[in-house]
Structures are given as C-alpha cells and as structure tokens.
Amino acid sequence: MKCQSILFTCLITLLVAACTSMPVRIPEASTNNNLLKSWQGPYGGVPAFDQMQLADLKPALEEAMAENLLDIEAIAANPEAATFENTILAMERSGPKLDRIFSYYGIWSSNVSSPEFREIQREMAPVLSAYFSSITQNQDLFARVKKVYEDSLKNPLEADQQRLVLLTYDGFASNGATLEGEAKDRYKAINQELAQLHTQFANNVLNDEEQYITYISSDQLSGLSESFINAAAKTATETGRDGEYAITNTRSSMSPFLTFSDERELRQKVWETYYSRGDNGDEFDNNAIIANILALRHERVQLLGYPNYATWRLENRMAKTPERAQALMDAVWPAALARVEEEVADMQAIADAEGADITIKPWDYRYYAEKVRRDKYALDSDEIKQYLQLDNLTQALFYVAGELFNFNFTPVEENSVPVFHPDVNVWEVTDKNSGKHVGLWYLDPFARKGKRSGAWATSYRTHSTFDGQKTVLSSNNSNFIKPAEGESVLVSWDDAETFFHEFGHALHSLSSNVRYPGLNGGIRDYTEFQSQLLERWLSTDEVINRFLKHHETGEVIPAELITKIKNAATFNQGFATTEYLASALMDMKYHTMDPAGLDVDRYERETLAELNMPEEIVMRHRSPHFGHIFSGEGYSTGYYGYLWADVLTADAAEAFAEAPGGFYDKDLAKKLVDYLFATRNSLDPEVAYRSFRGRDASIDALMRDRGFPVP
C-alpha cells in the first residue's frame, strides 16, 4: 500500500496507440524545439532535462501526435494481409518521438509542476484523449489486430508474441473498438471529458497541498525532534516566514507532527487541513468532480455492455471479478476492526492514566499509538530514526540489488547526465559479473513546491530487444523533508520501507528481459507484489549490520532495538490495515453503484458507517483527494490490489524464510528474478507465481503476517 498512481502513465496505459478519424496535419517542425530531438549523449541517449522549455511542450505534442498518426494510418491502410510483423510489431515501433515527449510531460506533471504547466495540461488533456480514442476506435486498424489475434488462436505464435497479441487485442476490444455510430462518438467524447476532470482533480489537490501550510511558533514545538524542527524552520524561511516553523500539507510532514507533537489543538488543525484537501468548498473542491467522473465512467462501460465499471475493469486482472476482490477484503476487514478496538483501548488507558481527560480522536491516534509502542515494546520511533539515514539506506538498496539481481550501481560522472532539478542524482546500473550496461537510475528524494506528494517510480525508457537493445532509464521519487545545511536526512521505519518498496518498482523495470515494449507493463493487482516483497529485505541481518548505523556515531543499530522492532512488527496493524482497506472498500463501492444523483460527501459518510468504520480512524485517502482513483484510471477499482498483492508478498516471504540461505538464498533469488521480475507482463501472473512457488498463494500467510487469526 505504498505507491501513488502515475497520472500520465495511467492515461496512456488505459488507451493504447494508433488512429484514423482524427485529421492528420504535420505542424511546421521547429528545429529549435529540444523536446522533439532524439536523445543524445551516453548510455544510449538520455533525456535533455536541462533543456526543457515549457513553451516547447504544446507544439512538440502536436507535431509528435501528427507524425505518429501518419505512421499508424500507414499500418491500418496496408494492402497486405495482416500479420504479426506488419501490424503488431509495426505498432510497437510507432511513436518513439511521442514517447520521449511524455517523459518530459511526466516530469512537469509530477516533479516540477507550475501554474503555467497546469494551464497547458488543462488545454491538452482533451486533445490527448481524442488522439488516443481515435486510435482505439480505428476500425481498419482494429480489423487487422483482430485478424492477427484470430490467426494466432489457430496457429499459435511464440509465447511472448502470443501474449503481446492478446494484450493488444484486449486493449482495443475493451476500449471501444467494437462500437459504431453514435455509441462510438459518445465513447470518445466521454474520454475527453474524463481527461479534463482527472487533470482538474489532481491539480486541485496539488493546489491545497501547496497553499495550506500551518505555521507555528517556538513555544509550540514540544515533543518534536530536533531534525524535524530544523527542517520546519528551513521551510518557513523559504516561504517568507523566517523565525517560524512550517508544517506543510503533505504526509511526510503531517505524519511525524501528529505522532510526536504534544500540542493537541495543533494536531487537530494539521489533521483537519491534511484530510480536507480537495474538500474545502471553494473553487478547488473535488466533490462535484468525483460525481461527474463516476457518472461518465458508468455511462461509458454501459456502452460496452457491462453492468458497472468494476466488472469491466477487473475482467483482465488477477481478481477477475468484483466479487472475488470483495471477498478478499471482507475476509480481512473484521479482523482489522477487532484489532483497532484493542489498539484504541490501549491508547485510551494511557490517556486516562496521564489524566488527559480526552476521548481518543483521529488526530490522537498516531500520538498515543507511539506512547503505546513505547509502553508495550519500549520502542521509540525517534530513536529508530537515528539509524535510518537516507544515504545509508540508498546504499542498502544497492546491496540488496547486488545480492539478488547481480546489479552494481555507480554514480555517473558529474554533469554527464542532465537532471531536471539539482536535488536529483543519477547512477549507472551494470551487471556485476560482465560489467554490461543495464540502465540508469535517477533519484529525486525531497519535497518541494510543485512536486506532488507521496512516493512513486517511473521509467523514461523501458527495456526491449526486438529492434536493437534498449536499456532502461528508471527513477524513484520521494518527498522526504530536506534537512538544514549539514544535517543528515533521517526517516521513519515506515518511510524506509516505502523507500525499499518504490525501489522494487525500479528493479522490476531494470531487470526486464522482454523483447517488446508492450510487455513491460503489468496488471495492477500483481505489479505491487514485487515492490511490496522488496520491503522485507530492510529488516534482514545483512542490511541491518551493514547500513543501519547511527548518523553521528556510526554505531550499528543495537541488537536489542532490532529485537524490539521485530517484536512490534504487527503493532498498529489495526490502524494500518483499516485506514488502507477503508479506501479500497470505498473504491469498490463507488464503482459498483449507480452514481445517478450522487452526493459524494454523504455517500462516503453513510457507506463508512455501514462498514462500521471506527470513528478514531479516517480513510487513508478520503474521496476528495483520492488521486489513485480520481486523477486517472490506473488504480480505479484497483486499490484493493495492494491487499491482493500482499497475499502474494506474505506467501513469497515465507518461502524465503524457509529457504536454506534465507532471504539471500541464491537458488530462490534466481527464481525470483527469472519468474517474478524479468518476465514483466510477458507471462500470465498466475503462471509466473506458480513457477516461483510451486503452488498458488494462500491468504493464511497474510493473516499470520499481520498477526490476525487464521480463518
């Protein structure tokens, strides 16, 4: 449950690639537009992030789209009989210029956004949607794809080719290719409307994250760590409030403040500010947008003959049906609620013993949970942070990648690879034995204005070999609070797990051995599995003894502190599971209901009440800022996927725990890479997991892992 959606990737993944009904006109080319130029330099060419000019974006998109449409039209109009080579592979080769521009677009969207970019984004969202829709609804192109698909059922191709054909056909068939007449036109119009609404939703949330900052004074710092105080002072100075302390409206600032601040009224204020993002009754309010999004999604899938959005969305995922996804959540939900009741009782007991004269509220949960942690396990989260220094954790990532994947990470020569911000660092990835170049890894670690909150991974170039070797350009992005000059970046245990999690996505890209670019993706309730699994290596003895060292003394984290961490591994699982699962359940409810006349605020409250949601906890992502499902469609009706993937994760972790070499067992590591990482989407996930484990995963492992009763 660590990842955020990648907005633009979601749009592209949903739609596919190629065209006809859209007028084709090549705009006058600009030789000075750097976004249109082929990537130059070392490592097979790299993005010219240092030459990004926002004024180039719109003309670059227009020219690249027009060029690609001509290529696609040539495929659709080919007089020769449709074959894998002249149709599917030809589509795989199309649009390299547009792919490169999308890499720049994604940086502006997620890492360095600005009001000027958001205006271009608003303008271009429906244009891009129309472009993709005209491709998926190109009857001549779909007829060729369908012919190749039908021929492959009679005369099967090589395994990866067969899967590529299946995925391409499904991508067209499930996205309006079979529609005709008014239904076809309406489908296209809906996509354009949705593109605008998704963009507006995301930008509204970003606005509230940027504009709502809580400033506090020196007499309101009780309980906060020195490193947090120094970082908050630095942020306040940067925002023109020198002498004060800024609590920004992001999880990386909110969560530690709620955990450690002794100021209850301030905790409430920070909590309310964070959880009301997109829900402030102003021009940036997202409630009406959500209702429109759900209505349009429902109308669109009805055009395709589906009863609801969830049924359409899940038919090609591991869960297959909403009922199967719901059954998994229903199996875990009661145990999570029962654990919350126990956790709240423990917290209330401490509050009563202190004479606090309060009833535990949502803004108290993290604060008193920390007190319970100290009381039950003598475990202090701030004490742990002293051993979790970002540079050391980065080296820990490299160590694990070297042991499991045989990768070596070396910092690139200064200024040899352009970056979009001075905070970004780049490493070359090579094979440890052969020295062969694998790719580049970019890291953008710190929060800043214009950067969306959370943590995520993305790729600027994916692996393929069918047209010459193309190596991977992968990145990780975090929102750690940048420290004051000369101070270490210290993170929480949870943030360290997230760091490992997102690196798992990067390794998924870097380890790819697929031939075709179209096989580098994955299905949502499976692709989180690999990254969730990588979190487990943070607590291995090898990582602990080498990299979890005190940022000042260099001493390895004491064995007794590690014992406390492991003993407390299932601590607060009621909170963690319930806040996540509430969002996943709401996601499924939204997409299986009839959205006509929907009052979003009322529906959220009433549905959570029906689910017996504890009043001491709020959804991890309340509806008005639930970007996973409303700023794009990558996770929509898919947020349950983190839990589905966690079943696989817990089961696979038990396999490593039982292996002769433990988590560094060479034979099992090879199977991990060969079947679960390198294959990407070239192999059916169920087949891939059975090849690794020898059987299907069991929910029992998940329940054991969270300390819940095994059913």
Tell me whether residue 502 is one of the annotated catalytic residues. Answer: yes
Burial class (CB in 10 A: 0-12, 13-18, 19+), 258: buried
CB-hemisphere CA count at 13 Å for 247?
25
What is the SS3 string spanning 73-126?
HHHHCCCCCCCHHHHHHHHHHCCHHHHHHHHHHHHHHHCCCCHHHHHHHHHHHH
Q: Which of 618, 632, 628, 585 is nearest to 276 (CA)?
A: 618
Distance, in Å, from the CA atom of 109 to the CA atom of 57, rounded to the nearest integer, reads 12
> Which residues, 6 or more positions from 345, have their beta carbon under 8 angstroms from its beta carbon?
none
Q: Are 386 and 228 in contact (CB under 8 A)?
A: no
In the three-class reduction of DSSP (H, G, I as helix; E, B as strand; rest coil), residue 449 is classed as: coil
Number of residues assigned to the chain: 711
Q: Given the residues 502, 535, 604, 616, select the one marked as catalytic.
A: 502
Sheet of strand 472-480, all strands in order from the earlier edge strand to the far edge: 407-411, 425-431, 437-446, 472-480, 456-461
Q: Give the Cα separation of 135 and 351 in Å (integer).
A: 61
Q: Partners of 139 in the beta sheet?
A: none
Q: Residue 699 CB: number of other CB atoms within 10 A?
A: 18
Distance CA 339, CA 581 (A): 13
**How far apart are alpha carbons 227 and 564 in whole angstroms?**
23
Q: How far apart are the C-alpha atoms of 294 and 203, rounded to whole Å?
A: 18
The two most distant CA atoms of the chain are separated, in Å, by: 83
The CA–CA distances, whole Å, from 89 to 13, 85, 86, 594 equal 18, 5, 6, 40
Q: Which residue, 76, 103, 92, 236, is CA-closest to 161?
A: 92
Long-range contact pairs involving 682-689 (C-beta distance under 8 Å, separation at least 24): 682/159, 682/160, 682/163, 682/164, 682/514, 682/515, 682/516, 682/519, 683/159, 683/163, 684/163, 685/318, 685/522, 685/523, 685/526, 686/318, 689/648
Q: E strand or H helix at 685, and its extent?
A: helix 685-693
Q: What is the 3-state secondary structure (H, E, C) of 589-611?
A: HHCCCCCCCCCHHHHHHHHHHHC
Question: Helix, strand, coil % (nearest 5) of the chain?
Answer: 60, 5, 35
Do 508 and 527 contact (CB within 8 A), yes or no? Answer: yes
Half-sphere exposure of 272 (CA within 13 A, CB side): 9
Q: Which residues contact 422 (CB under 8 A, 6 or more apart)?
A: none
Bridge partners, 475 (sequence order):
442, 458
Q: How many CB atoms lie within 10 A of CB 696?
A: 11
Phi–psi pair at 242, nearest 5 degrees? -60, 140
Catalytic site residues? 502
